Structure 1
Amino acid sequence: MSKSKQLSFAVHRALTGVAIATAASVPALAQDAPREVEEVVTTGSRLPVDTNLITTSPVTTVSADELKYSGVTRVEDLVNDLPQIVPELTSNDSNGSTGTATLDLRGLGSDRTLVLVNGHRMGFGDPFALAPDINQIPGNLIEQVELLTGGASSTYGSDAVSGVVNFIMKDDFEGFQVDIQRSGYQHDNSAGEAQARIADRGFDQAPGDVTDGETLNVNVIMGMNSADGRGNVTGYLGYRDIKAIRHSERDYSACALRNADNPDTGATTQGAGTCGGSSTIPTGRFTDFGAGAGVDLTLDQSSGDFVDRDGLLYNYGPLNYFQRPDERFTGGLFANYDLSDKFQAYGEFMFMDDRSLAQIAPSGAFFVTNRLSCANPFLSAQQLDAIGCNDPTLVDADGFVPMYVGRRNVEGGPRFDDLQHTSNRSLVGFRGELTPNWNFDAFINFANTRLTEVYNNDLSITKVTRALDAVNDGSGNVVCRSVIDGSDPSCVPWNIFTPGGVTQAALNYIDLPLFSKADMEMNQGVAFVSGDLTDAGIKFPSADNGVQVVFGLEYRDESMVFDLDNGYNNGDGAGQGGATADVSGAVLVKEFFTEAKIPVVEGAPWAEALELDLRYRTSDYDTGVDADTWNIGGSWSPTNDYKFRASVSRAVRAPNINELFAPQTLGLWQGTDPCAGASPTLSQAECAATGVPAAFYGMVPASPADQYNAVFGGNRNLDAETSDSFTVGVVLTPESWAAGLTLSLDYWQIEVEDAISTVGQEFVINRCATAGELCNLINRNPVNGNLWIGSSSVISTNVNIGKFEVAGWDVNATYATDIGNHGLNFAMRGTLLDTWDDQPVPGGVVNDCVGFWGSDCGRPRPEWKHTFSTTWNTPREGLDVIGAWRHVGEVKEFSNDRFSVDGQNYFDVSASYYMDDLFGGETTFTAGITNILDEEPPFSGVFNTAPFSNGNTIPGTWDPLGRYWFLGLTHSR
């Protein structure tokens, strides 16, 4: 082997050794390696620092090789496994999906996590989830990912409340590299309890052994230096194709589960669920909900008669996507060129076109009518009698009887939302040296995202109502009444009263495709100067280096135009839950920021280094919001082996366009109405306070699907959120007595006030009932008090009302050692969650969510979560083996501890084989399996609501699809 190839191989071994081991801020280095000083700009600061020193705030680093050897093709899958991240929107969402992927640091929401590329802001993701869509980020071009905990608004502006996730890209590549990976899932459907539930309902079972959800990922990187050696251009192209997986392919998701009481304890426990479903069934549900003859009927497919429904439900789960099909194209370039010895021009361009399909069960007539005509020719004599047409006390003056109709449109096929996001981001900047001690950097950053959406196979409420009102035209023809009176000559009757009576013409008439489009832009300009004041004598006598400062200005203009068609605007989609209005708005902010890094002591016997870090920013928004943010940090290194750090900061999150200008719409929330059903959990007086008519106490209809209406939307009078963060930690790099070990321990605390949020619907109902507060937010049906039919709802618009306090401990450890001539590396990342308090209303109940999930706590927040990995550089030249253990701690469902999920453990294994002279270049083969034991996800119980839950579990928190395999090849020259 030549010396150059030996060096190439050694570098590869070093990288793979650190791939999984890089957990703390300082990697383990060989003892005889020279101590080189390199200056870089780290996440959380605009000043260059010595990489051998520690930042004042905790930063966790993920290397590019971790992404490669994990086998994931979606960047969010890797980052979501980190203990600091609470998974949010992923590709495993379907109902309510935006088609994007977002990140949530510390579980405070993706809108409180700032996502950067090379330290620069990304653009918007989607009009309903404005947080950046990390589908835009090419995984194969990632150099490393840095996660900074704590408020960083003083450095980057709004949104950095819980911290920052910074994707640092390979922007100085030379050569050619191609990455090809094929991956997918394999699962053995052997969950006997789940299969028994399905059999009890008579639903279709999932297949036995499945291999599905294949993904093809192809990426190319090309880079070259300029002929004069003063510049570089690095370009990339990427293609990804993800195949769909439906709920029907897994036994634990093949039916929609509901809760059931444990007969021994009176509580609902994991595994006690039964297959539920929707009462909007293919054979139709015809009921007056007690307002007329007191009937609950369906169509018998054999006799054609109306018979008692007898609790018949529709299994809406099987057709839902568990993994959305997705096709993505990416491309871009990073370039820099030295205009002179002191000035450099640089630029970034990123493009993405992503199309994803979100499929759910067929639409239907979701009780959109409240009466039926006794003159409908499709109704038989038996049917007319069954619904009360022969009882003159029930027939009104127009010949109608009170009757709600729920009928699933299985003939029309499943609904699917066709979501296409096209984004581009362009950045151009200049940086350089003004004087030997002063530098400058100025750039403009433009980002645009366009959404094109087509929602297919919904039904028109208006047309369904007309199509159900059929009459005889006097010539023996059955037509719509609207044809006779001329209000809708194109109407075609929808015959759901006769087996096989639905015609294609009727389906074509009632079908309602829905269209929307959005255009979201961000224009940012930043300019700052940084200076070293050492030569000016501005320094502490006890330090060799002087104060470093930054002064800068920022301008940011964000806008959105969201246009929807008439079907959305008028709320005519039967499966939409209400009207959605167009929205447009813009927010402009002007900011000044400054930063100072102050060495206090250097080279003293008791302090190798003692340093202060000060930052300040003032922001002026054209919405009337003014904000000041700051950070005070410090680090102390008694020796090179011990380093202590601490920081306190004030951060803000200004209301974004969606929160300010989003239309107020009628949607669904998952849970229970404590005043519904035959045995309400609240008293008659308490239910009366929430709007239940006295005569209907104990008779309020409960939603069969546990879904109720709520009004969601924006508020133009919102103020900024404020947060105070505190971090303190220690980093150990004990080269003198434990060479190869790096250990960091950090405590962090974040308190958010005036949080922009909505108040939980069940909380509103209970607060009204018990304290007489928030009752104006409840709008029950005035007839029978329900909260799920028509426009009845709980008001849940955005307000500055909430308060959060979260705190915990992060531990990061790496250890690198040699076994003979071969390396063994260990790495562990863990987070102990100490506090996660949510106070929705000032003075109200504080929800302690550590170890819980559910309607008042949101997604699971385990007390402990960790990843542990080992990398072995085997005696076989070029072969490395990586094993990993991922643990998600025990959690309980928040309401009465009804569900308890044990801690989940996942074991992964992968291997890479490096060849330095194959096909004329360097080649690496990778293969692996994650969740090698094919662990099934736990049942999420009552908190089975979109978009964070899907398939009776919570994807992202738990592995949802079974065993994942991958095969990859990387070739470079």
Structure 2
Amino acid sequence: MNYVRRRQTALLAGVATLTTAFAISGAAFAQSADANEPASVDTIVVTGSRIARPDLEAATPIAVVTSETIAQSGASNIQDVLRELPQVGVGTTRANSNFSSSGNGGATVDLRNLGPSRTLVLVNGRRFVPGFAGTSAVDLNNIPTDFIDRVEVVTGGASAVYGSDAISGVVNFILKDKFEGLTARAEYGISDYKDNERYLFSVTGGHAFGPDDRGHVAVNVTHDSEKGVLSRDRALSREDRSWATVGVPAYSSFPAQGRFDLRTANGSAQVFTFDHDNNVVLGFPQELAYNRNWDRRISLPVERTLVSANASYRLNDHATFFFEPTWSKVTSSALLEAYSFDWSFIYKNGQPGMPITNAYIPASIRSIIDARNSDANPANDITGIQFRRRQNEVYDRSNQAERETYRIATGVRGDLRGDWSYELSYVYGRMQDSTHSQDIDATKYVQALDSIVDSATNKIVCRDPAARAAGCVPINLFGFDTVSAESSAYVIVPRWVEIDNEQQVFSASATGGLFDLPAGRVQLAIGAEHRRERSSTDWDPITNAGNGTSGKQDDLFGRFTVSEVFGEVHVPLLAGVRFADYLGFNAAARYSDYSTVGGTLSWNAGLEYTPVKGVKLRANYAEANRAPNISELYAAVSGGANGSTVIDPCNGTSATSTRPQDATCRAIPGLLVEAADNGGTLTYTAFDINWMSVQQGGNPDLREETAKTLTIGGVYTPSYIPGFHFSADYFDIKIDNAIGALPAQIVVDRCISTADPFYCNAVERFPNGKLRRINTRLVNVAEIETSGIDFNLGYRHEVGLLAGDSLSLNVLYTRLLSMEKTSFEGAPLEQNLGQLFAEGRLGSGYKNRGNARLTYDAGAFSASWQVTWLGAIRDRLDWTPPAGPDQAYLAQLNTVPNVLYHDLQVRYDLQESGLELYAGINNLFNKTPPLLPTGFASNVVGVESAKEYDPYGRRFFAGVRYRF
């Protein structure tokens, strides 16, 4: 569709939904900065611009989350407040990172559902060190909630003002700096299910010092702990579920007691398992399968200790020294079911499985083996025992993660001649993440399974004398709880990953007036910045060698530097004339020189127009960019999913086949020889498919992502309705050259059809011509676009029931108009509007999201009611449930209805004593998440629902704040 026509259509659609904004049951946290009237003529800097101005107006939309709003939420983690904004997606949370190999319990912010790496996070207007391996995403766990003065959220491309990563916008945490006195807070929370306990202790103090109070220091110390929730403690997630087995638990065929298969040259001879008394059971009854959710977590326990400070000292009339140190320690632990261990993980090169001479084989099974191996038909001979068994007694895949973050921001700021001011700053940040778990050593496991009875001692030992000398202890897998502690200790090896991120930022900027125009003073901001980023990931030797169960992982080390210059101008064009109370022009540009992608240019331009007092119109166009992060550039090709979904175009090729691809296929070394040995045609077996893998790695040739962002809107603050404001802003973000991986099938197909080395170098084949490995390295191939309209309404009115009491309403609502992606050139358009998040897709595309907060304030007493609305949505737009008796039920699950969450809080301030008491209930009506079991694209493992929905249920909290 034509670019301009498309936006006109979107704007008309937005007008049609305007009345919906007034009927929302959703919740609001903040009001647009435009609605606030300035308390003084002091100049301030609003996020989205570096120019200090004597008002709170901005050409781009800003939402402000105040410290009061944060306090009303009762949240100990600021992520829980931000994720309720309709412009913010879920990101990484305590409730969706249980299966992560690192970063468990992390907290990210994801503006516009475009990914945390496209959202720039600042603290006091400066960058914060990344909290995850090789990325730019910041872990919000490092930001103390009680030390936040406000959070300013700007959506839309802001790269010209702040640099890379600001494609979807900026989240700027402004910390308290002029705090006086000492305040202590303690809070306790618990769910209606007597779990998910939360403790918080926080102390904030501040004091002026030195001659004429030249210096000031504010410090916060916070410790909080959240205990997490087990999957088995919620009815929805108590058992494994799958859409493929409606009404029946989807238990795993990898059981704790083992599932064993006697194998012959012709296939399976006998499957057997054990009952709960460890009696042999032939076959595998479903009731003896394994409930994985019994050993999983919905939400991870997270414990945080944070120390932050804001200090400054005025050296003279033109220079003030500032110092902002931060230290945090965050610990978390994942709880996963024991590993689904399969014989093929340790037996390679065609070995048929566990030796039939294993000394622990039960007598009844030994009789079956002996009978088949002693008859006259060699084809009946059992050659090995293939098995699948949970490693409950060996190790459970849980991990312990500890992240420590240090950051210092320091420098000098002050005034120059006239109305000019400056700032020189240096930021150093470092994050070290240590995650420890366990794995098995495949070589030792093979030795431990090859057991015999020692004729000299009549004890079961490992067959290999060298292994015995090295401490080998035989392992018994036959039945429940049969593995001894000694044999577990022999096969277990420590597994770890150590992540180290480092950031340094040198900045210099100045802002001030150039000259006066009839409408006002032309203002300019200029500056330069130099940034250094480094990240390393060090895996344990077993994982490096690929000798464990988690796949091979190579270490990562990468770094880049970038030097930048930037400028911004604000030009007042008209003021105080008919039909133009004010008209102003804003523009910014930034040139960046990266050591990786070279030079990039970002810029934006906008207009502010106030035809009459109380009505403001604004428009802004930006071209932003995001440089590839270290992981995208330098991650080694490793890991990888099973390639069972990849079909070799050469499957079916023979010496005489005439398909278009066959001539190319016949030229592949070894292929015709393999075909001749198998009836003349290349044919893939289940074994071939099992050993085919899809892997992914970084690409040092990546270019930057580029984005075009358009915002158009207005603010209405009528003088005849004091305390009222309303704003509506249309946004459109289009990303070109987005970084993504080509699907493995496309890589293989295009290699055969085009012979292009770009594709063929990514395809590795066995000597027999069959596919072995497909490397889907990252490339600049995707296009992404999202658009919508943000509505913001606020009203405050003095009620008059008591002296000075008031009632206030704040509403935020986002109507999403489009959300689509083209994964690569020639790929079909992926529509995400109205569809939940799934791996490989964009974030969830709610057409309607909103929230509203109603607050009654009577001085010492206050009460607030918040409602959060998630609109109706589908798991998949393009899915038709399979025909059968459950088709209608599955279609019903695929369509998720509107969901409302209600939160309530009351406060009472004993002002003379300095004591404040508060209590609240979140998810007041105990709304359970919609059932989306395994098989649905948005399923979160262990939660049985999508990540957007509250998995905890009703929660209570109470706290006390004391001001000294």
Q: Are residues 1:552 and 2:527 paired?
A: yes
Aligned residue number for residue 568 of structure 2: 595
Structure 1 Cα separation of the partners of residues 571 and 264 of structure 2 = 75
Higher mean C-alpha displacement, 251-260 vs 856-865: 856-865
Closer, same or farther in 2 for the Cα pair 1:252/1:744, shift >3 Å? same
Give the C-alpha shift of residue 478 in structure 1.
5.7
2:597/2:627 contact within 8 Å kept: no
Structure 2 Cα separation of the partners of residues 944 and 672 of structure 1 = 19
2:160 pairs, out of 154, 162, 166, with: 154
Q: Are residues 1:107 and 2:102 paired?
A: no
Structure 1 Cα separation of the partners of residues 692 and 723 of structure 2 = 57
Give the C-alpha shift of residue 297 in structure 1.
2.1
Structure 2 Cα separation of the partners of residues 234 and 967 of structure 1 = 26
Q: SS at 2:393's partner residue?
A: helix
Instruction: Output one character per residue of 1:257-303: Cα deviation in whole Å (capped at 9) or x when no partner.
Output: 21228xxxxxxxxxx47422432211212347997432562322457
Q: Are residues 1:46 and 2:66 paired?
A: no
Give the C-alpha shift of residue 317 in structure 1.
1.2
Structure 1 Cα separation of the partners of residues 767 and 257 of structure 2 = 29
Give the C-alpha shift of residue 686 in structure 1.
13
Q: SS at 1:546's partner residue?
A: strand
Closer, same or farther in 2 for the Cα pair 1:649/1:467, shift >3 Å? same
Q: Are residues 1:815 and 2:795 paired?
A: yes
Opposite residue 846 of structure 1, the aligned amino acid is L
Opposite residue 173 of structure 2, the aligned amino acid is F
Aligned residue number for residue 964 of structure 1: 955
Structure 1 Cα separation of the partners of residues 194 and 751 of structure 2 = 50
Higher mean C-alpha displacement, 482-491 vs 337-346: 482-491
1:933 pairs, out of 919, 925, 938, with: 925
2:284 pairs, out of 309, 316, 337, with: 309
2:647/2:745 contact within 8 Å kept: no
Structure 1 Cα separation of the partners of residues 67 and 745 of structure 2 = 44
Opposite residue 530 of structure 1, the aligned amino acid is T
Aligned residue number for residue 562 of structure 1: 537
Opposite residue 503 of structure 1, the aligned amino acid is S
- Mark the runs of 5 or more structure 2 residues left unpaired by the alignment: 1-26, 649-658, 666-670, 882-893
Q: Are residues 1:914 and 2:922 paired?
A: no
2:583/2:609 contact within 8 Å kept: yes
Q: SS at 2:542's partner residue?
A: helix
Aligned residue number for residue 151 of structure 2: 145
2:564/2:592 contact within 8 Å kept: yes
* Identity value in percent: 27
Q: SS at 2:195's partner residue?
A: strand
Give the C-alpha shift of residue 382 in structure 1.
4.0
1:376 pairs, out of 337, 345, 358, with: 358
Aligned residue number for residue 841 of structure 2: 857
Structure 2 Cα separation of the partners of residues 362 and 632 of structure 1 = 56
Q: Are residues 1:294 and 2:275 paired?
A: no
Aligned residue number for residue 424 of structure 1: 406
Structure 1 Cα separation of the partners of residues 806 and 431 of structure 2 = 45
Instruction: Output one character per residue of 1:854-886: Cα deviation in whole Å (capped at 9) or x when no partner.
Output: 355354321111001111125xx5211111111
Aligned residue number for residue 267 of structure 1: none
Aligned residue number for residue 605 of structure 2: 632
1:299/1:306 contact within 8 Å kept: yes
Structure 1 Cα separation of the partners of residues 795 and 750 of structure 2 = 52
Structure 2 Cα separation of the partners of residues 948 and 783 of structure 1 = 40
Give the C-alpha shift of residue 906 in structure 1.
0.9
Opposite residue 534 of structure 2, the aligned amino acid is S
Give the C-alpha shift of residue 566 in structure 1.
0.8
Aligned residue number for residue 916 of structure 2: 924
Instruction: Output one character per residue of 1:931-965: Cα deviation in whole Å (capped at 9) or x when no partner.
Output: 1110111123446789965411233x111110121
Structure 2 Cα separation of the partners of residues 235 and 659 of structure 1 = 37
Aligned residue number for residue 442 of structure 2: 461
Q: SS at 2:465's partner residue?
A: helix
Opposite residue 98 of structure 1, the aligned amino acid is G
Closer, same or farther in 2 for the Cα pair 1:573/1:686, shift >3 Å? farther
2:189/2:956 contact within 8 Å kept: yes
1:749/1:806 contact within 8 Å kept: yes
Aligned residue number for residue 782 of structure 2: 802
Closer, same or farther in 2 for the Cα pair 1:225/1:88, shift >3 Å? same
Aligned residue number for residue 5 of structure 1: none
Q: For residues 707-786 of structure 1, what are the structure 2 equivalents within 5 Å?
A: 710-736=694-720, 738-759=721-742
Structure 2 Cα separation of the partners of residues 547 and 331 of structure 1 = 41
Structure 1 Cα separation of the partners of residues 154 and 852 of structure 2 = 20
Give the C-alpha shift of residue 519 in structure 1.
1.9
2:128 pairs, out of 122, 126, 131, with: 122
Q: SS at 2:447's partner residue?
A: helix
2:309 pairs, out of 333, 354, 367, with: 333
Aligned residue number for residue 532 of structure 1: 513
Opposite residue 67 of structure 2, the aligned amino acid is A
Give the C-alpha shift of residue 550 in structure 1.
1.7
Opposite residue 46 of structure 2, the aligned amino acid is T
Instruction: Output one character per residue of 1:793-851: Cα deviation in whole Å (capped at 9) or x when no partner.
Output: 76443222111111111111101112214211111111111111111111211101011
Closer, same or farther in 2 for the Cα pair 1:391/1:70, shift >3 Å? farther
Aligned residue number for residue 193 of structure 1: none
Closer, same or farther in 2 for the Cα pair 1:637/1:499, shift >3 Å? closer
2:413/2:421 contact within 8 Å kept: yes
Aligned residue number for residue 226 of structure 1: 209
Q: Are residues 1:24 and 2:32 paired?
A: yes
1:98/1:129 contact within 8 Å kept: no
Opposite residue 241 of structure 1, the aligned amino acid is S
Instruction: Output one character per residue of 1:340-379: Cα deviation in whole Å (capped at 9) or x when no partner.
Output: 1222111211110111111111225333235222222222
Opposite residue 559 of structure 1, the aligned amino acid is R
1:525/1:554 contact within 8 Å kept: yes
Opposite residue 26 of structure 1, the aligned amino acid is D
Structure 2 Cα separation of the partners of residues 809 and 607 of structure 1 = 25
Aligned residue number for residue 954 of structure 1: 946
Opposite residue 560 of structure 1, the aligned amino acid is S
Closer, same or farther in 2 for the Cα pair 1:623/1:767, shift >3 Å? closer
> What is the TM-score with the length of structure 2 in the denominator?
0.85
Structure 2 Cα separation of the partners of residues 551 and 961 of structure 1 = 48
Instruction: Output one character per residue of 1:477-513: Cα deviation in whole Å (capped at 9) or x when no partner.
Output: 5656563255973221111136654222111111222
Aligned residue number for residue 668 of structure 2: none
Aligned residue number for residue 4 of structure 1: none
Closer, same or farther in 2 for the Cα pair 1:90/1:108, shift >3 Å? same
Aligned residue number for residue 813 of structure 2: 830
2:261/2:385 contact within 8 Å kept: yes
Opposite residue 573 of structure 1, the aligned amino acid is G
Closer, same or farther in 2 for the Cα pair 1:637/1:293, shift >3 Å? same
1:89/1:948 contact within 8 Å kept: no
1:324 pairs, out of 300, 304, 313, with: 300
Structure 1 Cα separation of the partners of residues 232 and 490 of structure 2 = 30
Structure 2 Cα separation of the partners of residues 765 and 184 of structure 1 = 53
Structure 2 Cα separation of the partners of residues 745 and 843 of structure 1 = 36
> What is the TM-score with the length of structure 1 in the denominator?
0.84
Q: Are residues 1:245 and 2:245 paired?
A: no
Instruction: Output one character per residue of 1:154-198: Cα deviation in whole Å (capped at 9) or x when no partner.
Output: 111111111001111111111001111111211xxxxxxxxxxxx
Q: Are residues 1:445 and 2:417 paired?
A: no
1:292/1:401 contact within 8 Å kept: no
Give the C-alpha shift of residue 392 in structure 1.
8.4
- Mark the runs of 5 or more structure 1 residues left unpaired by the alignment: 1-18, 187-209, 262-271, 677-684
2:158/2:170 contact within 8 Å kept: yes
Structure 2 Cα separation of the partners of residues 936 and 546 of structure 1 = 56
Closer, same or farther in 2 for the Cα pair 1:440/1:305, shift >3 Å? same
Q: SS at 1:658's partner residue?
A: helix
Aligned residue number for residue 890 of structure 2: none
Opposite residue 273 of structure 2, the aligned amino acid is L
Closer, same or farther in 2 for the Cα pair 1:37/1:20, shift >3 Å? farther
Aligned residue number for residue 471 of structure 1: 452
Give the C-alpha shift of residue 425 in structure 1.
0.8
Aligned residue number for residue 82 of structure 2: 79
Aligned residue number for residue 611 of structure 1: 584
Give the C-alpha shift of residue 709 in structure 1.
6.2
Q: Are residues 1:523 and 2:514 paired?
A: no
Aligned residue number for residue 135 of structure 1: 141
2:293/2:942 contact within 8 Å kept: no
Give the C-alpha shift of residue 649 in structure 1.
0.8
